[in-house]
Amino acid sequence: MRSKLVFVALLIGTTMAAGQTWSDSEREILVLQDQRNLGNGKLLSFLSNPDPQLRYRALIALANIQDRSTDSAVALSLRDADGRVRAAAAFALGQIGTGGSQDALLGRLREEKDSVVIGRILEAVGRLGNVEALGQIVDILSENQNAYIKAEQALAIARFALRSVKTEQSIWHCFELLTNPGADVRWRALFALWRSAPHGLIEVEIAKRESLLTILSRDPSPDVRMNLATLLGKATSGYARDLIRELDEHERENPDWRVQVQIVKSIAALAPSHPELYDDLVGFLESPNDHVKIATLQLYSVFNRQAIAASADTVRLREALLKLVAARNPDAEMTRGEAFVVLAKLFPDEYGRKNYYAEKDLSVRERTKVIEAMSYVPSGRSLSIIFYSLDDANVRVAMAAWDFVRRFLTPSTIAKIRSGDQEWGDARGTLYRKTMNSLDRHDMAITHLVANALADTVFFGIFREAGLSDSLV
């Protein structure tokens, strides 16, 4: 996130409008920034230049260089007469990230009147402050009702939480912010709460504030609903289960796919503790939106097969998967590909009834997903197809085959290859030939995958026993 914010600052601070010219001093600052060089003190000297534009640009350059020896000099700029310079100084201290800047930032926070500067101070303190600083950003701004500042305060609390700095005070404060009339304040408070999870107090407050959270499930802002869904997925109680269902029911009336993707993820997170939720996921496979279907399929692909088998609606799930697998739509090949994998993993007998790899005009993406799916259905046909694909002309297909072939090379399969069984007699020779062909391609990605396979002593042993290892080495 740090690099992204630095990039944003660069865009704000240094993007050239058409025909814009730069002074020699500005060019010098930008060169030093690009070189990540303090210029033997030259860059710091610009902080006392009479021109606020040069002071600002120097601070942005220092934010990008992130040299910790500059924090004291940068902190002095928090008292600059120009608000834009003070904001840049706070931003730079947050990027430099030394804990010694905390007191200077909090001291300025108590005096600052410019809301933009306050926002940048909160951002910086959120990046580097300790638990004492977390308490102070709540206390110092307790009477400030500015929506922008409240939103920045919530985001600062989230930044503390990302560093595992969280307190009951900060959690309570974020719950209080959920009644703020500003949508930006509400969603950022929810963001801070789910970043602070898991925490026992969050579970307690979800139960106590169930009616408020029910209202938020109907919030007009999709950002609020998305972050509410994520928060509920971090909880474990029956209250969270009921609220996610409430949110799901409302979202189906006027769906926003971004919110529904988060609902799917949260239902999946809650399902192990509340198995009845497994059946709630099936309906998302019938969504008209591919993002929602793909998110649901990817979660099904990591579920325990036994847990799904014990759910009440496996018939509907199997039918939904078969429908997705049967759909030939170039615009939805990712959805079909994920459906291949889930069908094979959860219903291997159903998947094995048809050789999907034999279909005409399969896209490269579909072929790679069929190969992945076959790795969940161990059979002679599956192994034969994967062996065949190891030196496929398409690099992505060959890579997929090498990715998943090792799932087949279990101790029992390897024992059959070694046994001299006529049915498996050609397997060793075929695998050797495919391995050599793959290495002869001199493709870095494929060579890496082959090398990983050969690093497995059991896999390599197949060739060593037949006197083939020297040629591979």
pLDDT in tens, 66-94: 999 999 999 999 999 999 999 999 999 99
User: What own/partner pairs with CB < 8 Å and gap ≥ 24 does 247-255 have?
Assistant: 247/217, 248/280, 250/217, 250/218, 251/225, 255/287, 255/289
Query: Would you place residue 13 in the very low, low, confident or very high pLDDT band (cuts 50, 70, 90)?
Result: very low
The average pLDDT across 364-368 equals 95
Looking at residue 309, what is its pLDDT?
A: 83
pLDDT digits (tens, 9 = 90+) for 291-305: 999 999 999 998 888
Q: What pLDDT band is residue 313 in, cutting at 50, 70 and 90? A: confident
Whether 463 has a pLDDT exceeding 80, the answer reads no
- Lowest-pLDDT choice from 21-30, 119-128, 304-313, 431-440: 304-313
Rounded to an integer, what distance in angstroms lies between the CA atom of residue 107 and that of residue 125?
11
pLDDT band at 61 (very low <50, low <70, confident <90, very high): very high
Domains along the chain? 1-129 (1.25.10.10), 164-270 (1.25.10), 274-377 (1.25.40), 399-473 (no CATH)
- Which of 288, 336, 286 lies closest to 316 in space, CA to CA? 286
Cβ–Cβ under 8 Å, residues 145 and 180 = no
- Identify the band that residue 12 occupies on the pLDDT scale cut at 50, 70 and 90: very low
CA distances from 346 to 53, 169, 243, 342 (A): 62, 45, 28, 6
4 pLDDT above the threshold of 60:
no
Asked whether the predicted pLDDT for residue 396 surpasses 60, the reply is: yes
What percentage of the chain carries pLDDT values higher than 90? 75
Reply yes or no on whether the pLDDT at 28 is more than 70: yes
Mean pLDDT of 188-217: 97
- Alpha-carbon dihedral angle through residues 350, 351, 352, 358, given to the nearest 10 degrees: 140
pLDDT at 331: 84
Would you place residue 9 in the very low, low, confident or very high pLDDT band (cuts 50, 70, 90)? Answer: very low
Q: What's the whole-number average pLDDT of the chain? A: 91
Q: Give pLDDT, residue 455.
A: 87
Angle ∠(349,354,358) on CA atoms, nearest 5: 145
Q: What is the pLDDT of residue 211?
A: 97
Structure tokens at 406: 């090792």
> Residue 310 above 60 pLDDT?
yes
Confidence of residue 465 (pLDDT cuts 50, 70, 90): confident
Averaged over 213-230, what is the pLDDT?
98
Closest CA to 166 of 178, 154, 158, 176: 158
Higher per-residue pLDDT: 458 or 38? 38
- Could you give the angle at the alpha carbon of 42 between the alpha carbons of 36 and 46, nearest 5°? 100
| Contact by Cβ (8 Å): 298, 265 | no
Handedness of CA 133, 135, 138, 143 (dihedral sign): negative
How far is Cα 217 from Cα 451, in angstroms, rounded to an integer?
Answer: 51
Pair 431, 387: CB distance under 8 Å: yes
More confident residue, 459 or 365: 365
pLDDT of 444: 95
Orientation angle between helical segments 257-270 and 238-253, nearest 10 degrees? 160
Token output for 444: 């870095």
37 burial via Cβ count (<10 Å: 0-12, 13-18, 19+): middle
Average pLDDT on 205-215 reads 97
Per-residue pLDDT at 274: 92
Q: What is the pLDDT of residue 18?
A: 42
Note whether 417 and 424 are within 8 A (CB): yes
| Contact (Cβ atoms closer than 8 angstroms) between residue 191 and residue 154 | yes
Q: Which class for 46: exposed (0-12), middle (13-18), buried (19 or more C-beta within 10 A)? A: buried
Q: Which tokens in the block code for residue 305?
A: 């097969």
Note the helical H segments in 129-167: 131-140, 147-162
**At residue 419, does pLDDT exceed 70?**
no
Residues 6+ apart with CB under 8 A from 340: 325, 351, 356, 366, 369, 370, 372, 373
What's residue 373's pLDDT? 95
What's residue 381's pLDDT?
83
pLDDT score of 461? 76
